[in-house]
């Protein structure tokens, strides 16, 4: 009950903050129209989910259905692909001891694993800096969904263009030999991260790039060059391209 209450508080806080920022930047009328549209979409959610049930994307040669959830309105953004990737990755084999960087998966039904998030004030979360953090015991499974791009980029007093790569180094160091790692990040959001992806500094055993190609939130696999040509929140809201990276066994 306490965890669910915390999640509701977080979501309400996100909505309030977004409304405040939109009202300041765009005015009352556009903000009211935007949130009015969200209300309609929530009411139409069951119909939309049924209509898009056959939509798929390709993950390392396998067709995977998109994930649609009310939380975070995944039908509007990259979460529809990222959470689908996480579902597929975590179903592949027992997760064993699991760590997540960024408190994301708990909102989509995954609980009971360790979560490290420096700034989120929720009971049970490890509030530590990922860079340089050392786990007392290594993990079988490690996951990070659209979190690494923020490290040292959205932190006013700790700016470092290599922050995402440094955090990835520390994250990889928490994985047991033979363990698995899944990471997703948006492209075109953090210039330093994009440079490290292009140079190979930020890389994985297997990686795939995806670009949003329609207002209906369809995605297709593209080359690294095409993915890195996209800009965040340009043409469509939030991420217009993402990187999916996996280390360790995966079908």
Tens digits of per-residue pLDDT, 25-54? 888 888 888 777 777 766 777 777 788 889
| Residue 131 belongs to domain spanning | 55-247
Of 51, 67, 85, which residue constitutes the final position of a domain?
51
Let me know whether 8 and 79 are in one domain. Answer: no
Let me know whether 36 and 76 are in one domain. Answer: no
Per-residue b or e along 37-54, where b marks 16 or more CB atoms closer than 10 Å to that residue's CB: eeeeeeeeeeeeeeebee
What local confidence, expressed as pLDDT, does residue 4 receive? Answer: 46
Give the count of domains, the chain: 2
What local confidence, expressed as pLDDT, does residue 73 receive? Answer: 83
Output the pTM of the full model.
0.84
171: closest CA among 193, 141, 200?
141
Report the first-to-last Cα separation within the chain, whole angstroms: 37
Let me know whether 131 and 181 are in one domain. Answer: yes
Q: Of how many residues is the chain composed?
A: 251
Let me know whether 28 and 141 are in one domain. Answer: no
The CATH number of residue 159's host domain is: 3.40.50
Tens digits of per-residue pLDDT, 199-221? 999 999 999 999 999 999 999 99
Let me know whether 111 and 205 are in one domain. Answer: yes
Of 10, 35, 51, which residue constitutes the final position of a domain?
51
Let me know whether 123 and 36 are in one domain. Answer: no
Let me know whether 5 and 123 are in one domain. Answer: no
22: closest CA among 13, 11, 12, 33?
33
DSSP per residue over 59-117, as a string?
ETTEEEE----TGGGGGGSTHHHHHHHHHHHHHSS---SEEEESS-GGGGT--SSEEE-
Let me know whether 161 and 116 are in one domain. Answer: yes
Q: Report the distance separating Cα 34 and Cα 96, nearest Å.
A: 42
Let me know whether 43 and 121 are in one domain. Answer: no
Of 11, 35, 51, which residue constitutes the final position of a domain?
51
Q: Report the distance separating Cα 174 and Cα 122, nearest Å.
A: 22
Secondary structure, 3-state, 127-141: CCCCCCCCCCCCEEE
Tokens matching residue 235: 């043409």
Chunked into runs of 10 residues, the chain (251 residues) has average pLDDT values of: 53 72 86 77 74 91 92 90 97 91 94 94 92 96 98 91 97 97 98 98 98 95 98 95 94 60
Let me know whether 22 and 59 are in one domain. Answer: no
Let me know whether 156 and 39 are in one domain. Answer: no
What local confidence, expressed as pLDDT, does residue 155 receive? Answer: 87
Q: Report the distance separating Cα 100 and Cα 3, nearest Å.
A: 17
What local confidence, expressed as pLDDT, does residue 11 receive? Answer: 58
For 38, phi then psi, to 5°, come to: -60, -40
Let me know whether 95 and 148 are in one domain. Answer: yes
| Residue that the structure tokens 């990835």 belong to | 168
What local confidence, expressed as pLDDT, does residue 3 receive? Answer: 47
């Amino acid at each position: 009950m306490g965890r669910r209450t915390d999640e509701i508080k977080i979501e309400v806080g996100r909505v309030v903050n977004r409304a405040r920022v939109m009202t300041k930047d765009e005015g009352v009328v556009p903000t009211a129209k935007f949130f009015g549209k969200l209300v309609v979409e929530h009411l139409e959610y069951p119909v939309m989910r049924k209509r898009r049930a056959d939509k798929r994307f390709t993950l390392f040669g396998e067709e995977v259905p998109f994930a649609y959830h009310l939380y975070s309105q995944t039908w509007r953004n990259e979460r529809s692909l990222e959470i689908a990737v996480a579902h597929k990755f975590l179903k592949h084999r027992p997760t064993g001891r699991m760590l997540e960087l960024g408190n994301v998966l708990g909102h989509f039904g995954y609980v009971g694993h360790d979560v490290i998030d420096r700034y989120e004030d929720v009971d049970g979360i490890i509030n530590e800096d990922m860079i340089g953090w050392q786990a007392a015991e290594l993990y079988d499974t490690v996951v990070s969904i659209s979190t690494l791009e923020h490290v040292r980029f959205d932190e006013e007093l700790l700016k470092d263009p290599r922050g995402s790569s440094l955090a990835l180094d520390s994250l990889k160091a928490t994985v047991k030999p033979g363990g698995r790692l899944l990471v997703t990040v948006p492209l075109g959001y953090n210039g330093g991260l994009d440079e490290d992806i292009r140079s190979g500094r930020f890389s994985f055993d297997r990686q795939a790039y995806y670009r949003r190609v329609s207002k209906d939130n369809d995605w297709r696999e593209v080359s690294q060059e095409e993915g890195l040509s996209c800009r965040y929140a340009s043409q469509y809201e939030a991420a217009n391209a993402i990187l999916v990276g996996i280390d360790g066994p995966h079908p």
